[in-house]
Structure formats: C-alpha cells, structure tokens
Amino acid sequence: MHSKTLLALTSSALALPGVVAVSSAHADTPPAVSVLSYRASSYKEDDLDASVLFAGSAERYDIKVHQLRYSAPVGEKYSFSLDSSYESMSGASPWYTVESVNGNAKVAMSGATIYEKRRDITASGRRYFDSGNLGISLTISDENDYRSNSMAVDGSFTLANNSTTISGGASYSDDELSPTDALLFNRIPSATKANSSAFVSVTQILNQFSILQSGISTARASGFLSDPYKLVDRRPEER
C-alpha cells in the first residue's frame, strides 16, 4: 500500500532524487543540454529483536529502488522532463503492540512476509521568464492495492531589486485503494481519498553573508484516511 511507512522509508533513508517536489527551486534558464540518468538504491532494516516480538515474523523492511530520468531544453524558454521509478519492498509490517506480564512492550508483526511493488511516472514542463519560471507536472503512481493520479504547479519570481524572490505552488491528488485479503481480514474492499496542498514563501537576501526566509503552507485530506492494514485504526474523514 502507498502508506506513510513506505514513503517515509523511501524518501528519508534513500534520499531519492527523482521525486518531483512542488517546493523545489529552479533556475530561470532552461537546461543547456539533454540528460539521461539512472540510479539504483537499496535499503534494509535489521530484523526485530526476539525479546520484543510478540507474534508474527521478525523480518523487517528490505527496499530496492530503480530510477530513470530524462530532461531536455525545448527551444530557448522551455524545458521538459520525464521521471520514472520502480520500487519493491519486502518484510513484515507492525500490526499492534501489547504489554507483557513484566510490563515491557511487545510488537505483533504481520504473520507472513509482505511483498509490494510501486511504479510511477511523472511528466513535467517548465516555462522560463527573465525574472522567474512556472512549471506543471502530472504523476501516475500504481501499486497492487493503491493507485494515485496527481498534478502540481509551482513558480518563482524575483523582484527588480534582485534580492527578493517570491515562490508558490499547489498540488492535488486523487487516490484509490483496494486492500489485499479484504474478505479474509474484514478490511474495507475499496475506498477513495483526495489530498491537496499549497504554499507561498519569500526569500530575502540581507547581505553577502545572510538571507531571510519565511513561508506558509496548508494541506487538506478527505475521504478514507485510516490504515486498512492495522487492526484498530479509525481516523476522521477530513483533516
């Protein structure tokens, strides 16, 4: 499932460069040449210690990522990029925690090793101006139990004094989940949710040694926000 766990492990542990972020900074000129690049990453967690295992498998996450990126200038004022990635994850997932007779916490893990795959592709275009740029991206992400379609726009503008830059952006995703083994474990068979976010930031150059940055962001999620793979997980339908 396209869960917070997989996203957090993938982004923080592997520092993936191919993910398009709305808040990324961009130069005000298109790339000079076309570039094709490939990157492979691997990440593995230590198995859970037997002293804290209550039930299930002690095997933890093993993640492998393959990324392919192509970027090119289009004329003098435009650029285009295409990002594709393939991720695979195996291992047991935490289910719930219990308190043992001696008062220590123990973790119940999923009984069998899980195996998940995620494929995504992002197409991006950007227009460059004398003092700024504006970009748009479209992303399709697909897993065995999760599908997401999203889009994002972002841009930045430098004022005439060349020391103040205003940036902003917005994103929206429409997601559909269909948990595996829904009938066996009494999970919801299918559900939908939507996520939207926006930000505005200002960067001010104070002198040759200092800059000042400030910003504001907002995010909204609605629909089925609970984790269908946890034994007890009830969340509001909007936040």
238 within domain boundaries: no
Q: What is the spatial distance between Cα 116 and Cα 107, in angstroms, rounded to a whole number? A: 22
180 within domain boundaries: yes
229 within domain boundaries: no
Closest CA to 225 of 188, 172, 182, 180: 188
Predicted confidence at residue 142, as pLDDT, reads 92
183 within domain boundaries: yes
Q: What is the spatial distance between Cα 200 and Cα 205, in angstroms, rounded to a whole number? A: 17
Using 50 as the pLDDT threshold, list the residues of the chain that sit under it.
Answer: 2-24
Predicted confidence at residue 161, as pLDDT, reads 81
139 within domain boundaries: yes
Q: Which residue has the tokens 């559900």?
A: 191
Tell me the torsion sign for CA atoms 88, 90, 96, 101: negative
Q: Give the count of domains, the chain.
A: 1
102 within domain boundaries: yes
Predicted confidence at residue 208, as pLDDT, reads 86
123 within domain boundaries: yes
237 within domain boundaries: no
138: containing domain: 4-223
